[in-house]
């Protein structure tokens, strides 16, 4: 406990008035209890010190908006701790959704190229990228099941053990249970989506186990009752990893 405290104390805390002003309009954060809020304050202070937050194009981010981004990115780390920030150094922020060029060489050796429009992306060993317009949309509608920043941070947690597979680094017994429960829920969900059934959870979660984890993370923070109803075991794992949802 003392080590944990000492490590979190190292960076000076963000100015209290600035911190309060920033989180006042971040609904996921302002709903936290006092103890978790203090931990988030320390994590966000470290984030601001260690990560370069770079607005792209004509976007300007003021001091308050930078702290809002730091707070939101650190929200999934309140229980996990600062180790969750390892392995990357840049947050790139586009004004709006952004286009990325994709290429894929199929089994026949044919090159396919296409454009994707994204609101967020997390490279395995590189930056986190967010659309500021979509982050603001999440602030405005915090109960809709969307929160792009925590989605990308789930990918960063997932890849800490070197494999982007929907399972973050956890104590061994928990990790085994997690893998079983998530696999079962993912298979069931992917089958429902394949059959064209209507689902309460965004069907994007059926893309891959890692997207299932990241999308369920969004529901944990913004629509926890819906997640519990759809996947009670998954919801329990996420409540243990992240702490109780601010809207539980």
Q: Using CB under 5 A as the criterion, which residues of the chain lie in contact with Zn ion when the complex forms?
A: 211, 214
* Tokens (6 digits) for 136: 């603001």
Contact (CB, 8 A) for 97 and 60: no
CA angle 111, 163, 195 (to 5 degrees): 65
Task: Tell me 13's DSSP state.
Answer: P
Q: Nearer Cβ to Zn ion, position 93 or 214?
A: 214
Q: Minimal distance in Å, beta carbon 96 to Zn ion? A: 18
Give 37 or 88: the residue with its C-beta nearer to Zn ion.
88
Phi and psi (nearest 5°) for 33?
A: -75, 170
Run of H or E including 29: helix 27-30
- In contact, 59 and 93? CB cutoff 8 Å: yes
Question: Considering beta carbons, is residue 22 or 72 the nearer one to Zn ion?
Answer: 72
DSSP 165-196: SS-----HHHHHHHHHHHHHHHHHHHHHHHTT
* CB closer to Zn ion, 48 vs 159: 159
Q: Of all residues in this chain, which one has the CB nearest to Zn ion in the complex?
A: 214
The CB-of-130 to Zn ion minimum distance in angstroms stands at: 12
Nearer to Zn ion, 14 or 205 (CB): 205
Residue with tokens 């069907």: 203
Q: Which residue has the tokens 């190229």?
A: 113
Which residue, 48 or 75, has its beta carbon nearer to Zn ion? 75
The two tokens of residue 225 are 């009752």
């Amino acid at each position: 406990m003392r080590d944990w405290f000492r490590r979190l104390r190292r960076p000076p805390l963000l100015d209290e008035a600035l911190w309060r002003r920033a989180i006042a309009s971040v609904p996921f954060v302002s709903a936290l209890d006092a103890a978790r809020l203090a931990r988030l304050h320390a994590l966000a202070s470290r984030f601001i010190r260690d990560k370069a937050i770079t607005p792209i194009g004509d976007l300007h981010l003021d001091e308050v908006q930078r702290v809002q981004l730091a707070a939101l990115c650190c929200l999934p780390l309140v229980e996990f701790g600062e180790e969750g920030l390892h392995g990357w150094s840049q947050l790139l922020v586009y004004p709006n959704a952004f286009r990325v060029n994709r290429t894929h060489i199929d089994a026949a050796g044919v090159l396919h190229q296409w454009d994707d429009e994204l609101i967020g992306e997390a490279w395995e060993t590189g930056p986190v990228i967010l659309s500021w317009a979509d982050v603001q949309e999440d602030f405005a509608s915090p109960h809709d099941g969307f929160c792009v920043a925590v989605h990308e941070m789930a990918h960063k947690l997932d890849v800490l053990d070197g494999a982007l597979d929907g399972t973050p680094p956890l104590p061994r017994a928990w990790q085994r249970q997690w893998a079983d429960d998530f696999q079962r829920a993912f298979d069931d969900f992917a089958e429902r989506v394949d059959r064209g059934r209507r689902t309460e959870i965004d069907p994007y979660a059926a893309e891959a186990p890692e997207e299932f984890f990241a999308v369920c993370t969004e529901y944990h923070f913004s629509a926890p009752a819906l997640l519990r109803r759809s996947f009670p075991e998954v919801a329990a794992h996420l409540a243990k990893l992240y702490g109780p949802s601010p809207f539980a």
